[in-house]
Structure 1
Amino acid sequence: MLIDTTLREGAQLFGAYFTLDTREAIIAGLLDLGVEEIELGWVGQEGLETLVRTMRKRAGATRLSVWSPCREADVRAAAGLPVDCVNIGVPVSDAHMEKRLGMDRQAVLERITSTVLAARLMDVSAVSVGLEDVSRSDLGFALTAALTAAEAGASRVRLSDSLGILTPVRMQALIDLFRPALDIDLAVHCHDDFGMATANAVTALDAGADYADASVLGIGERSGIAATEELAAHLCLNGNNSPCRPYRTDGLRALCRFVSKAAGVPIPRTKSIAGDDIFACESGLHAHALSKSPDLFEPYDPARIGAGRRIAVGGKSGRGAVVNALADFNLHCPDTAIPNLVNTVRQRAWELRRPLTRTEFARLTEGCRDSEKNRQS
């Protein structure tokens, strides 16, 4: 299941400033997608209380949560908000505990206990404890911290690969350590510094984690985190998942475009799920196969994510692709002239350094008619 944190982790992206209207629009897209939980922001964030109270009326079955440092005063502020969960963050690596908090291991365990207990006494519905920098921690101590949180009343532990240094193999080992030891929910927060975030999140869910954090386009600190659109599509559209999650993915690309504009993050044309050209094809072999059976080279129907298929002829096209283009555009070229047409198409595309438009292709077929006239005369 997904915890979307576009409005907390994503809002920490360098240079990103989301207005209240923008935040509400992003939430509307996430509610339409059907993510299980939305982390609306952090304690003390401008406009958070207004946003929470507005969205509480619209959230339906989607859980709302906010993030708080592991301090009683901040948890108290969070407790006054109508949310379903307060996500507390606390570092568990020695470097972070000593340099950030000036605390030793025992003091951190005591802080976890006192803060979680305080939250429960304040009638916070659910408390999630995020173990920051767990990938550089002493895992024995990190597990002790998780068990301490559970004993104090936490309902979820969230493992944060804060520097994105885990690989899927190491993530599998991490979940194999924590999952059997905990009888509460387990979540992961995977950063993308080495391009592993989505893969690590998928691995964690496959290995038994209950939740994975994600943000639209993966935006967040530094390289960001696992991407909501990638995880949602994988969990919903990947035929190997049984059962698939019931996400409504047809609006994913529109949500990505909105966040792209709001955050000032361009979408590469080949970006999975969100890119303009992910279902565009010019290669002769692939284009020919797509004309016979799209599922040979497409993992899912483009319409499932609100996209369309685009096949063009160009410098990489062969006879099959050209013949299919003729049929698609209701154009005619005699069989004897097709080899010359294929060569002409390739040559023109290389001159333009791009595939041909429909109009350009149609003009080239005029040579076919000339060729037929010459042959008949």
Structure 2
Amino acid sequence: MKFFHLKGNTALRNDIILEDTTLRDGEQTPGVAFSVEEKLAIFRALIDAGVRWIEPGIPAMGGDEVRALQLMLDEAPDDVTLIGWNRGVREDVQRSIDLGFSAVHIGLPTSSVHLKNSVRKDRAWLMSTAKDMVKFAKDQGKFVSISAEDIGRTDIEFLQEYAVAVAEAGADRLRLSDTIGILSPQQYRDRVAAVASVTDIDLQAHCHNDFGLGTANVLAALEGGARYFHVTVNGIGERAGMADFAQVVMALRQWHNVDLGIKTEKLTEVARTVSDACRFPTSPWQPVVGTNVFAHESGIHTTGMLRDTSTFEPYSPELVGGERQLLVGKHSGRGVVAHVLEQHELNPENFDLDRILEEARSFAVTHGRALEPGEVVDMGKQFVRAEAL
């Protein structure tokens, strides 16, 4: 079967759906294992933040995983869809259905590399299995999502043929997985658009971050015609992780005016819930939710911020549940020292700001950190001008 390769346009659909996979792909982060209580805490935080599609885990794992999944299924509001992840095996899919999932995902590879080295099958097996799995789940009245894994190394013509086949079998959605994160945004967009040109099946972006392009690739996929996309909180996941929840939400909001129904003021809180469960602190410079995102130390920056906060911030910290900090450290200027004193109801004119700044810079170098506001005040009291005494 031969198809033309078409490029997508930059107009995004008006029915885009975010699906979070922190509890499935995210938990596959090496060294991370959530307890039942931690999975439930993350689950509740996601729902509280407005997430309405969640991939909560893998039923075939059994044990505590199934216990957590059952609790989430019992607790999920009516407007929240939980989708169970499965291998391309009937027993896996049936187990998800028996647990009570109304939506199931079937993971299958499409690249020759994965067919040969992962499942040790050929394309004929893949086509037959995919259609059989879709029919099996659809016959039981379920929403069916199915993968094309490793699309970065899948021939585009075969990817199109596969997409047409699973759509004709009745699949509701095709997940286009850049499994090892090797595609550039343009390459990913072109593949999404090529599939969209031959079938109307809803497409989902699933982008790994091996080259730091996970978020960019999700945005490119949406430009190419995808409707759904995967994210994880803090970008956690296998190897270098996945597209980041907060980053994609804010990029779509700020650049494309897309409202996903997410309460952005909850983003930082959700990030902390997940980092606590991972036992890995969120990087201070993690975009959107890191503690340094709204922290300013440079003299030029703090001067600008004191006049107009938009000078060095693309959006306010309140929008994402963050907190602005004007720090006194090695790179600070007199203006921020004066500001700290004023915040403590002290008149900066009564202090030798140059001496305070000199001392503060020395402290920052010696201790390897910025000063706390109280430390600035205490330091300032050592350099009161004589005429102020």
Quick one: structure 1 residues 339 and 150, their matched pair in 2 at CA, closer, same or farther if it must change by over 3 Å?
same
Q: Is the 8 A contact 1:337 1:371 kept in 2?
A: no
Residue matched to 2:172: 155
Stretch deviating more after TM superposition (126-135 or 316-325): 316-325
Structure 1 residues without counterparts, runs of 5 or longer: none
Stretch deviating more after TM superposition (137-146 or 79-88): 79-88
1:138 correspondence with 2:138: no
Residue matched to 2:129: 111
Q: Is the 8 A contact 1:79 1:123 kept in 2?
A: no
2:282 alignment partner, SS class:
coil
The whole-number CA distance in structure 2 between the counterparts of 1:74 and 1:357 is 54
CA deviation profile, 1:8-51 (whole Å, cap 9, x unmatched): 11222222222222211111011111123101212312245444
Q: Is the 8 A contact 2:96 2:104 kept in 1?
A: yes
The whole-number CA distance in structure 2 between the counterparts of 1:306 and 1:87 is 33
Q: Is the 8 A contact 1:163 1:193 kept in 2?
A: yes
The whole-number CA distance in structure 2 between the counterparts of 1:208 and 1:329 is 54
1:232 alignment partner, SS class:
helix
Residue matched to 1:196: 213
Stretch deviating more after TM superposition (143-152 or 249-258): 249-258
The whole-number CA distance in structure 2 between the counterparts of 1:224 and 1:177 is 26
Residue matched to 2:327: 312
Deviation at 1:341, TM superposition (A): 4.2
2:58 to 42, 51, 58: 42
Residue matched to 1:269: 284
Quick one: structure 1 residues 92 and 323, their matched pair in 2 at CA, closer, same or farther if it must change by over 3 Å?
same
Q: Is the 8 A contact 2:205 2:221 kept in 1?
A: yes
The whole-number CA distance in structure 1 between the counterparts of 2:315 and 2:326 is 16
CA deviation profile, 1:149-169 (whole Å, cap 9, x unmatched): 100000100000111111212
The whole-number CA distance in structure 2 between the counterparts of 1:6 and 1:107 is 31
Residue matched to 1:24: 40
The whole-number CA distance in structure 1 between the counterparts of 2:356 and 2:279 is 43
2:60 alignment partner, SS class:
coil
The whole-number CA distance in structure 2 between the counterparts of 1:258 and 1:169 is 34
Deviation at 1:97, TM superposition (A): 1.0
The whole-number CA distance in structure 2 between the counterparts of 1:337 and 1:264 is 44
1:187 alignment partner, SS class:
strand
1:101 correspondence with 2:116: no
Deviation at 1:344, TM superposition (A): 4.1
Q: Is the 8 A contact 1:130 1:159 kept in 2?
A: yes
Q: Is the 8 A contact 1:332 1:365 kept in 2?
A: no
1:244 to 256, 259, 282: 259
Q: Is the 8 A contact 2:351 2:385 kept in 1?
A: no
One-letter code aligned to 1:211 = Y
Deviation at 1:340, TM superposition (A): 4.4
TM-score normalised by the chain length of structure 2: 0.88
Stretch deviating more after TM superposition (348-357 or 285-294): 348-357
Residue matched to 1:296: 311
Stretch deviating more after TM superposition (83-92 or 360-369): 360-369
The whole-number CA distance in structure 1 between the counterparts of 2:132 and 2:99 is 20
Stretch deviating more after TM superposition (182-191 or 204-213): 204-213
1:283 to 291, 298, 305: 298
Deviation at 1:296, TM superposition (A): 1.9
Quick one: structure 1 residues 207 and 290, their matched pair in 2 at CA, closer, same or farther if it must change by over 3 Å?
farther
TM-score normalised by the chain length of structure 1: 0.91
Q: Is the 8 A contact 1:333 1:368 kept in 2?
A: no
1:15 correspondence with 2:27: no
1:298 alignment partner, SS class:
coil
Q: Is the 8 A contact 2:57 2:69 kept in 1?
A: no
Q: Is the 8 A contact 1:334 1:372 kept in 2?
A: no
What is the count of residue pairs matched by the alignment?
371
Structure 2 residues without counterparts, runs of 5 or longer: 1-16
CA deviation profile, 1:64-91 (whole Å, cap 9, x unmatched): 1011112223222222232231111111
The whole-number CA distance in structure 2 between the counterparts of 1:353 and 1:12 is 35
Stretch deviating more after TM superposition (252-261 or 302-311): 252-261
One-letter code aligned to 1:189 = H
1:206 alignment partner, SS class:
helix
1:81 correspondence with 2:96: no
Quick one: structure 1 residues 347 and 51, their matched pair in 2 at CA, closer, same or farther if it must change by over 3 Å?
closer
2:31 alignment partner, SS class:
coil
Stretch deviating more after TM superposition (359-368 or 204-213): 359-368
Quick one: structure 1 residues 209 and 332, their matched pair in 2 at CA, closer, same or farther if it must change by over 3 Å?
same
Residue matched to 1:226: 243
The whole-number CA distance in structure 2 between the counterparts of 1:17 and 1:61 is 28
Stretch deviating more after TM superposition (16-25 or 45-54): 45-54
Stretch deviating more after TM superposition (247-256 or 132-141): 247-256
